[in-house]
Every structure is written in C-alpha cells, then in structure tokens.
C-alpha cells in the first residue's frame, strides 16, 4: 500500500477527532455561546417590553427579536436566586450560600469545553473562581456603593482596589461590569472555545445612586405618583399581550398610602427617589446594549444564547440615610420603599422576599437567532424557573451534569430544559414548583398555587384565571389546600432540608404586613 492513502487516512482521523472533540461533544463553534444576565431587585414591570415607561431600547430589541416569558420565576431573594441560577437546585437543597451540595453552571460547562467567566455581584461564600469561573471581576458583597465600591472587589481571585476613574471615565459599577464583560468575551472568543459569561449586575439594587446626567433625564416623570404609574404600566402590559383580557390589576397594598394623600413635600421626595431608580435601570439597559453590540461586532451574536432575568421583585426595604445628599454624591444612600416597589411589581401583589407573584415573578427574555424557532417577539405563557437554566445549558451545550465535583456530593437536578420552548414546542411542564424563603412559602401544581406570607394562613389561587392573586379560594377547596400543604412540607423537609421553625405550621390568620417607613428626617436605619 502506498504512503499517500495512509497519510490521507491519518489526516481524516485527525479531522474527525477534532470535530468530535472531548467526550463526544460537537465542534466548539457549533455550540452556542451563553450570556446570562441578571438584574438585581428589578421589578416585573420595570423594563419597556414588560410595561415600563423607562426607556430600555436594548432589552426591548432583544425581546422584539427573541422570546419573552410571562410566567418565569425566581426565588424572591438575592442570594437564594443566585444559588438556584447557578446549580439548578432549590437554595437550601444546594447547601445555601456554601453550594456544598451543588455543582455550578460554570463547572459543568468548563468540563464540557467552554471558557467560563463572570462579572458583577457574587453574594455567596468563597469566590466565583472557586466554582468553575476562569475569570471574574466584581464584588462579593450583597450591595455596594456604585461610585466607590467596597473592599470585596476581586479580579480573578485577587483583591482589586476601586479607582476614582476607569477607562477614562468616573468609576460607576454598572459601567465597569460591562467593561470587564467585553474583555472576558474577547478572551473567550480568542480561546477558540464557546464561552459562558454570567453578568450579574447589581443595578437597580439600593443604594439608589446614578450619574447626575442620567438622573436629570428622568426629572418630572414620576410626579403623578405610584397609583397612576401602576395603572399606566398595566394598560401597556395588556396592550403588549403579557396578560389575557380579563386580568385584574391587584389592589394597592394596605400599607401603601394613596398618592393624593401625601403633601407636596412628601410627593417631591418620593418622585425624586423613583427618578433615580429609573436612571439606574436606563444605565443598566445601556450597558446591556454595549454587550449585545460587542457580540454583533465580533460576528458571534447569531449563535449566542442571551438570557435576561431578575433575582426578585421590587424591594420594599427602606434604609435611606443621607436623604439630603444628591444621589450622584458618593456619600448618599437613598432607597425607595414598598410604595414604589408595589408599582414596580405591577400587576402583582407584594415584594422581594414574599412568595406571592410580586416577589417571585421575573421578566425573562431569551434571544438566540440561530437557536430560537419561535416567531420574533413572541410571548410564551409556559412557566419556567431559575432552576431550569442548568438543564437548558446542558441541553444546548451537549454537556453532562456532574454528580461529584471538588469533593461535593451533588443532589439530583431539579430543573427542566427550556429548549423545547425555544423550539416552539409545548414543554412537559413541571409537576410542581416549590418556593421558600424565610417564613414565606408557596407551592404550584399546574395552575393552582398555594402561598403563605410570614407563616400567615395558606391562600389558594387559580393562576389560569387569577394571576394577580385577588380571589383566595382556600375556604372553598380545603382538601386541595391540605394535600398541597402536605406536598410542600414533604419537599421542604426531604428535598430542601428545612428544619425547626421553617417547618412550623402556618397560623390561622393572614399575617399583617407593613413595610413602609417614615423618612422625613432622612435617617431611616432599618435593621430588617
């Protein structure tokens, strides 16, 4: 046999091995890049394509050319949502902030041949570089000063001192998150591998701080108050098709005063706060636009799966101090309270930490020109949850869920892939969705939802006809309540590993809630 056929066969074998890659995976350039973007404390209605008056052209464009979810869930709290997003497990099931019973999306995708990076807020134990992220810039803390940062900022595991300026501009955390995101994406592209970028923006979480020019663009936009805002946002949501005709706007929370009951000074202070919040959302959108534009300029946008969501609903916690400092002053520390949070969560009830729809409902925008087969701009009513991200990434990346990593014995995956929804199919739904944070709990089976706030009496809603939880059916269907409560307790005890007061029976009456604080002195120091 001549040498030429042997050489040809050898070259063919090398080519075939390269195409298959490690562990039988597809050639790297055939698998999508993944950009997962999470906002912090963003309410369901806070972006334009979910009803907001705030100008968010970048996110609107992703929605108009992608897919929106009207029933996507988080866990109602910052750290617990991050645990579920990273692991595909319920928070305590994964070991909480320690992740001791979970494997992360970065570890799974790195093992599958992806370049992995993260920017922004961590808010868990250790550092991202301890959990599979090859590159990281951001802060380990749950909240930080947007202008000066704090001592938890890290770059690839090492301390990073926050400078007064970065890339020729005054330091502002939201902008710098995007700066490092672009750098890490470039590194991922240069590696020749598909890449995962997890961009965890800390905006619009308190403190409410934004550049002066951005705040002044919002002047006067909220002078009509939160009652008017809820009504106008809800009208847009109905027009956009996010909710079916007949959906009711939930009533303003009892502890939130009518806007017209405030005096002129109070109204001015309240509208000032919301202007800053809106500016923060606008700056967030602008930086998401920078990420999208960079992907486009690099020629990789079409095969990049972009997912955008929020970690919980609007935040009701009033912690303002230094009220009379301008919100572009680094020493300022403004917050808003339940009054605006109620509007930001339009049309739902309650807030961050609660397992009512206002706490757990998140926008979810999916954009992937090469992979999403639904009509551009389509809205799906199929429910999803943060726990579904891990299963989705395993699906599209041809990866394998790891059952043991770094000495951690990993619990079975709870999530289900969103890929069938991307393909325009009806996904086999979750048989159940479990919710818990602190003393708040919920359980969803099909369209039925059982929910309790602060261990208050169980409430029962049919979300098919009452998504805004206005008509409590618990007294009408006591057997259903008892059966669903039993299944919640079984999951809480045996899967999520709760104990003690977290398993205590609910009280016989609904717990009275009051989140609103007096900030007339500008020194509200809540210990909540």
Q: pLDDT for 53-84, tens place per residue?
A: 999 999 999 999 999 999 999 999 999 999 99
Question: From the CA atom positions of the chain, what is the Rg in Å?
Answer: 23
Q: Find the mean pLDDT for residues 22-37.
A: 70
Q: pLDDT for 260-273, tens place per residue?
A: 999 999 999 999 99
pLDDT value at residue 203: 98
Q: Is the pLDDT of residue 11 over 80?
A: no
pLDDT value at residue 28: 45
pLDDT value at residue 24: 37
pLDDT value at residue 19: 39
Q: Find the mean pLDDT for residues 28-33.
A: 80
Return the beta strands (E) in 327-431 as ranges.
Answer: 361-367, 378-380, 384-385, 404-405, 408-409
Q: pLDDT for 460-517, tens place per residue?
A: 999 999 999 999 999 999 999 999 999 999 999 999 999 988 999 999 999 998 887 7
CA distances from 178 to 166, 184, 199, 288, 293 (A): 12, 10, 8, 7, 12
Which fold would CATH assign to domain 30-430? Alkaline Phosphatase, subunit A (3.40.720)
Q: pLDDT for 314-353, tens place per residue?
A: 999 999 988 889 999 999 999 999 999 999 999 999 999 9
Closest CA to 303 of 133, 188, 420: 188
Q: What are the residue boundaries of the structural domains of the chain, listed by start?
A: 30-430
Provide the percentage of residues in the chain whose pLDDT is more than 70: 92
Instruction: Find all residues with CB under 8 Å of 406, minimum gap 6, and list them.
Output: 107
């Amino acid at each position: 046999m001549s040498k030429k056929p042997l050489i040809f066969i050898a070259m063919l074998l090398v080519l075939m091995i390269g195409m298959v890659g490690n562990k039988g995976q597809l050639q790297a350039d055939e698998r999508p890049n993944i950009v997962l973007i999470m906002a912090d404390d963003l309410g369901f209605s806070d972006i334009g394509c979910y009803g907001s008056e705030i100008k968010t052209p970048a996110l609107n464009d992703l929605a108009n050319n992608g897919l929106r979810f009207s029933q996507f869930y988080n866990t109602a709290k910052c750290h617990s949502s991050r645990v579920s997003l990273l692991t595909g497990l319920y928070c305590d099931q994964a070991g909480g902030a320690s992740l001791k019973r979970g494997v992360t999306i970065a570890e799974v995708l790195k093992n599958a041949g992806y370049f992995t990076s993260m920017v922004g807020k961590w808010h868990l134990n250790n550092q991202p570089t301890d959990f599979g992220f090859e590159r990281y810039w951001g802060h380990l803390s749950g909240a930080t000063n947007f202008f000066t940062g704090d001592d938890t900022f890290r770059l690839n595991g090492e301390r990073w001192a926050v400078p007064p300026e970065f890339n020729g501009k005054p330091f502002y955390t939201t902008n710098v998150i995007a700066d490092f995101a672009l750098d890490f994406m470039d590194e991922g592209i240069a590696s020749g591998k598909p890449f995962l970028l997890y961009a965890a923006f800390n905006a619009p979480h308190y403190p409410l701080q934004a550049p002066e020019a951005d705040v002044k663009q919002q002047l006067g936009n909220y002078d009509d108050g939160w009652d008017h805002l809820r009504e106008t946002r809800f009208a847009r949501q109905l027009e956009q098709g996010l909710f079916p005709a007949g959906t009711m706007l939930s009533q303003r929370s009892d502890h939130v005063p009518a806007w017209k009951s405030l005096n002129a000074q109070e109204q001015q202070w309240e509208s000032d706060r919301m202007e800053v919040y809106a500016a923060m959302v606008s700056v967030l959108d602008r930086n998401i636009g920078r990420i999208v534009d960079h992907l486009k300029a690099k020629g990789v946008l079409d095969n990049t799966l972009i997912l955008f969501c929020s970690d919980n609903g609007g935040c009701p916690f009033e912690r303002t101090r230094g009220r009379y400092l301008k919100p572009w002053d680094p020493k300022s520390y403004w917050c808003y309270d339940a009054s605006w949070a109620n509007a930001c969560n339009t049309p739902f009830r309650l807030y961050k930490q609660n397992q009512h729809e206002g706490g757990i409902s998140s926008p979810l925008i999916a954009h992937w020109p090469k992979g999403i087969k639904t009509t551009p701009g389509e809205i799906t009513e199929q429910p999803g949850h943060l726990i579904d991200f891990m299963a989705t990434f395993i699906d599209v990346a041809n990866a394998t869920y790891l059952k043991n990593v770094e000495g951690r014995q990993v619990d079975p995956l709870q999530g289900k892939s969103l890929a069938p929804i991307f393909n325009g199919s009806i996904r086999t739904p979750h048989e159940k969705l479990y919710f818990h944070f602190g003393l708040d709990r919920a359980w969803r089976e099909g369209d039925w939802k059982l929910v309790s706030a602060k261990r208050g009496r169980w409430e029962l809603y049919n979300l098919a006809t009452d998504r805004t939880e206005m008509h409590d059916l618990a007294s009408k269907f006591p057997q259903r309540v008892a059966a669903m409560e039993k299944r919640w307790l079984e999951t809480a005890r045996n899967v999520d590993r709760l104990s003690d007061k977290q398993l205590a029976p609910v009280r016989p009456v609904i717990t009275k809630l009051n989140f609103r604080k007096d900030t007339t002195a500008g020194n509200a120091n809540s210990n909540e």
